[in-house]
Amino acid sequence: MAQEESVENQSMATQLPEELLAKLREANESNADSGFNIASNFSDRYELGLVLGEGGAGRVIAAYDKNVRRRVAIKFIRSDKASEIALRYFLKEAKITGQLQHPHIIPLYELGMTENEEIYYVMKLVQGVTLDEILEGIRIGDKDMIERFPLPSLMKIFRRVCEAVSYAHAKGVVHLDLKPDNILVGYLGDVQVTDWGLARLRRGMEDMSELELVDIDEDVDFIIDSEKEKVIGTPAFMSPEQAIGNSDLVGTRSDVYALGGILYKILTLRAPANGKTTTAVLRRKLNEKIKHPLLYSEEAVGDNPDNVKLIHLPNCRVPRSLAAICMKALDEKLIERYQKVGDLMRDVEVYMAGYIPDADKGAGLNRHFSQFIYRNQKSIVLVLISIFAVLTSIIILLLLIQYTK
């Protein structure tokens, strides 16, 4: 949510260290393909407004583009985080986001440097809330959030996120920091996946299908060469292979795991792993089994403040099929997970259509029959009404015949 703070064009105070500025000037002057060269004229084009948020190396500010008369969001690199690695991440995020053109990936309009030598990029301004804010609102009993976002609406949001991530994978990009806080939901229902700062190109494109795909430009590729930078992502949602820093195993299935974590929070209103510190979260993730979502249906009562009633779910209970999909995506073994986001998305769509998904292999005949009733309930009601009408007509006819006799 926007903080009540405005920013003047000439007082950003986000200048980079002199050595980085020297690199940028040299790259711009020489036109060398170093990954640093960028050029733009900020001038009087943008009128800056409220600070929308800050975190990591970036600070996002609402602005008005005077040239085309539209509201935008501008992300600046923060001076207190402006190391060379932070700058590389910032530029990589801009270049990758700029090439991922999808309805559910926030579009980027411009990358440049102001007259004050502040690095920025301009993107679409999405007026809304994050999925994390939606789920937290439901958790604390916000009536507006509960009414606006029942489970079917949340699953539509989740499916759109899957579509965006599947598209990115087809372009050879893995996100590596998928979480509810990086999903924006606009007031008109549009969904945007944001924060591609940790994204990587798939090494060697090993998972490419036989389809002809368009690759991201080579200058976007960035190999982390520092041991301490190997563990990247948000601990509560990152995959086990990310948690141990195994870069050889990190890939598209790591994003599948994170999507499973997002679905887990949609169902239970909790992250798959919690802890007071990052170390505690990572230790729990690596040494403990994730609590099955179905168990939360049984614990949504009592005096424990963590026992939250799942008011957004049918009968306040986690649907078995969705729990099965969630746990398959969250399997610690890569081979047991969904191998592609498309496979996860297909199971979700099967569930939303009223069928039993492949992940829920243990479903008995009674559940299949229940799902049959659920997906055909309108037709069944119409048939019952028709039968009732026919029987009523027969009875009336018989009574009339009896009366005439």
* Residues involved in catalysis: 177
> What is the C-alpha to C-alpha distance for residues 78 and 56, in angstroms, rounded to an integer?
8
Looking from the CA of 141 toward its CB, the CA atoms found within 13 Å total: 4
Q: For residues 39 and 32, give the distance between their C-alpha atoms in angstroms, rounded to a whole number.
A: 13
Q: Name which of 234, 233, 264 is nearest 327 in CA terms.
A: 264
Q: How far apart are CA 237 and CA 259, in angstroms?
A: 8
Q: Are 138 and 311 in contact (CB under 8 A)?
A: yes
Query: CA-to-CA distance for 19 and 193, rounded, in angstroms?
Result: 33
Distance of CA 281 to the CA centre of its chain: 20
Helix, coil or strand: residue 265: helix
Beta-carbon contacts of 97 under 8 Å, excluding residues fewer than 6 positions away, are 105, 106, 107, 108, 121, 123, 196
Q: Show the tokens assigned to 98.
A: 């700029």
